[in-house]
Amino acid sequence: MSAAKRKQLESRLDGRQKIAALAVVERDFAPEDVRKGFEEIAAEVGVSRNTLYEWRTQNKAFIDYANSLADDFLTGKRSLVYRKLMELIDSSQPSVKAIDLFMKREGLITAQVAVETKDAGAARSNEELAAEIAEIDELLLEGK
C-alpha cells in the first residue's frame, strides 16, 4: 500500500483506533499461548468490547488500515516463508506442492487455460430444426 493511501486511512481514524488496529493485527499473528483477548485490547484502548467489535467488523477504514498493517507484517516475514518453502523442498520426502509453488513463483510454470466455445447463435435451417423437434418428440413418446 502506498504511503499516501496509508495516510488517507490514518486520517479517518482516531488515535485509539490506530492503536487498536495494531493490537488486533499483533493478536492475529501471536502464538495462541500469548495471544491477547479482544476484551483486553478494548480495555487497553479505553473502549468497550462491543465498540472494538464494531470497528473490526463494520468500520471500513479500520479494517483497511488493519489489513495494511498485516500486509506490512507479512512482507517482513518473506525470508522466513522462503526458508520454510526450501525446507519442504529439501526434505527427505520433498513436497510436490512446495516444488509446484516454487516453480510458479519463478515463472517456470504458468497456468494455461483453453476455452472452446460453440456458436449457439448460429443459424440453423428449417430442416435441421424440424429434425431436432422430431427427435425430442420421439424421446418424449418413449418416456410414456
Q: Which cell numbers in the block locate residue 15?
A: 488515535
Mean pLDDT of the chain: 88
Can you tell me the distance from the alpha carbon of 58 to that of 76, in angstroms, rounded to the nearest whole number? 28
Q: What's the pLDDT score for residue 120?
A: 61
How does pLDDT run across 71-127, given as a tens digit for each residue?
Answer: 988 888 888 888 998 999 999 999 998 888 888 888 887 767 777 766 666 778 888
Can you tell me the distance from the alpha carbon of 76 to that of 52, in angstroms, rounded to the nearest whole number? 26
How does pLDDT run across 5-38, given as a tens digit for each residue?
Answer: 888 889 999 999 999 999 999 999 999 999 999 9
Q: What's the pLDDT score for residue 119?
A: 65
Q: Evaluate if residue 140 carries a pLDDT over 90.
A: no
Are residue 7 and residue 56 in the same domain, yes or no? yes
Are residue 93 and residue 82 in the same domain, yes or no? yes
Sorted by sequence, the CB contacts under 8 Å of residue 2 that are 6+ apart come out as: none
Is there a domain that residue 29 lies in? yes
Question: What CATH number has the domain bearing residue 56?
Answer: 1.10.10
Can you tell me the distance from the alpha carbon of 87 to that of 94, in angstroms, rounded to the nearest whole number? 9
Q: Evaluate if residue 62 carries a pLDDT over 90.
A: yes
Are residue 42 and residue 63 in the same domain, yes or no? yes
Please state, for a pLDDT cut of 70, what percent of the chain lies above it. 91
First to last CA, the chain: 65
Tell me which residue range forms the domain holding 108: 77-117
Are residue 21 and residue 54 in the same domain, yes or no? yes
How does pLDDT run across 124-137, given as a tens digit for each residue?
Answer: 888 888 998 998 88
Can you tell me the distance from the alpha carbon of 14 to that of 33, in angstroms, rounded to the nearest whole number? 30
Q: Which pLDDT band, with edges at 50, 70 and 90, does 143 fall under? A: low
Q: What's the pLDDT score for residue 117?
A: 67
Q: What's the pLDDT score for residue 109?
A: 77
